C-alpha cells in the first residue's frame, strides 16, 4: 500500500477518535462531587492548621473537656466551608446526558447554600455539545445555542439517590429517589409535569408524606403518560 495512503488513513482514524473522545464524558453521581469537596475541605483545614492530620485537631482548636473542635475552630471551619461551596458550586455540574434526534439533553446538579440541592435539564445541539464537566451560569445565560428545559430542587437531602434522566415514549423523564419528578414532551417541546419545589408544593411535608404527595401528583401521572400509546 502506498505510504501516503497509509498516513492518510491513520490521520483520518486519529481525527475521528479524537472527535469521539471530546463528545464523551462519564456519568457523575452527586457523591463524586461531594468527595471532591471533602478533599478540598481537608486540604483547607490542614493549610490553616486547624487540623494536624486528617483526624487530629490542633491543640489551639481543641475543647479540652469534650476532646472535640472548639467554637473558634468550628467558626473557622464554617468560613472555609462557605468559601469552598461558593467557589465549587458556582457552576452547574454534569451528571448524565441522553440524545434525541439532533439534540442532547443534559442533567446538571448544583447547590444553593449548604443544604438545598437543585437539578437542571439543559438542551444542547449535538454539534455544540462540549462534553465538559462544568457549565457556567454565565454561559447558560448568554449562549443562545443552549436552553434550560426545566429545573427543580429540594431543601436538604431529599430524594437524592438514583438520580437519572431517560427517554420513553418520546418523553424525557427526570427521576430522583425512585420517583418520577418531571416530564417533558420531546415531540411538542413542552414541559408537561414538573414541580420546582416538591417540598413546598406538598405543604412543607417531609419524608414519607412528601414522597406520597410526589407519587400521587407527579410519579403516577407521569407513569400514565409513559404507558399510553401515542397517536
- Residue 158: the pLDDT is 82
Strand-pair partners of 89: none
For 158-192, how does the pLDDT look when each residue is reduced to its tens digit (9 = 90+)? 898 999 999 999 999 999 999 999 999 999 999 99
Of 191, 97, 228, the C-alpha closest to 220 is: 228
d(CA 29, CA 118): 13
Residue with cell 407521569: 222
- Residue 15: the pLDDT is 44
- Mean pLDDT of the 108-119 span: 89
- Residue 7: the pLDDT is 46
Confidence of residue 2 (pLDDT cuts 50, 70, 90): low
Instruction: Tell me the whole-structure pTM to 2 decimals.
Output: 0.86
Amino acid at each position: 500500500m502506498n505510504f501516503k495512503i497509509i498516513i492518510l488513513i491513520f490521520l483520518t482514524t486519529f481525527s475521528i477518535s479524537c472527535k469521539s473522545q471530546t463528545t464523551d464524558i462519564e456519568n457523575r453521581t452527586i457523591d463524586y462531587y461531594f468527595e471532591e469537596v471533602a478533599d478540598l475541605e481537608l486540604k483547607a483545614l490542614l493549610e490553616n492548621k486547624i487540623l494536624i492530620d486528617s483526624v487530629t485537631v490542633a491543640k489551639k482548636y481543641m475543647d479540652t473537656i469534650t476532646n472535640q473542635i472548639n467554637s473558634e475552630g468550628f467558626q473557622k471551619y464554617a468560613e472555609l466551608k462557605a468559601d469552598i461551596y461558593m467557589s465549587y458550586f458556582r457552576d452547574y455540574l454534569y451528571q448524565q446526558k441522553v440524545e434525541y434526534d439532533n439534540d442532547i439533553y443534559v442533567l446538571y446538579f448544583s447547590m444553593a447554600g449548604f443544604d438545598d440541592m437543585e437539578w437542571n435539564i439543559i438542551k444542547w445541539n449535538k454539534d455544540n455539545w462540549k462534553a465538559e464537566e462544568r457549565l457556567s451560569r454565565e454561559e447558560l445565560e448568554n449562549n443562545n445555542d443552549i436552553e434550560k428545559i426545566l429545573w427543580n430542587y429540594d431543601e436538604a437531602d431529599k430524594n437524592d439517590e438514583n438520580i437519572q434522566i431517560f427517554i420513553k415514549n418520546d418523553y424525557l423523564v427526570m427521576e430522583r429517589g425512585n420517583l418520577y419528578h418531571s416530564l417533558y414532551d420531546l415531540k411538542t417541546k413542552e414541559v408537561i409535569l414538573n414541580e420546582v419545589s416538591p417540598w413546598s408544593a406538598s405543604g412543607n411535608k417531609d419524608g414519607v408524606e412528601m414522597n406520597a404527595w410526589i407519587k400521587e401528583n407527579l410519579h403516577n401521572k407521569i407513569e400514565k403518560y409513559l404507558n399510553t400509546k401515542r397517536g
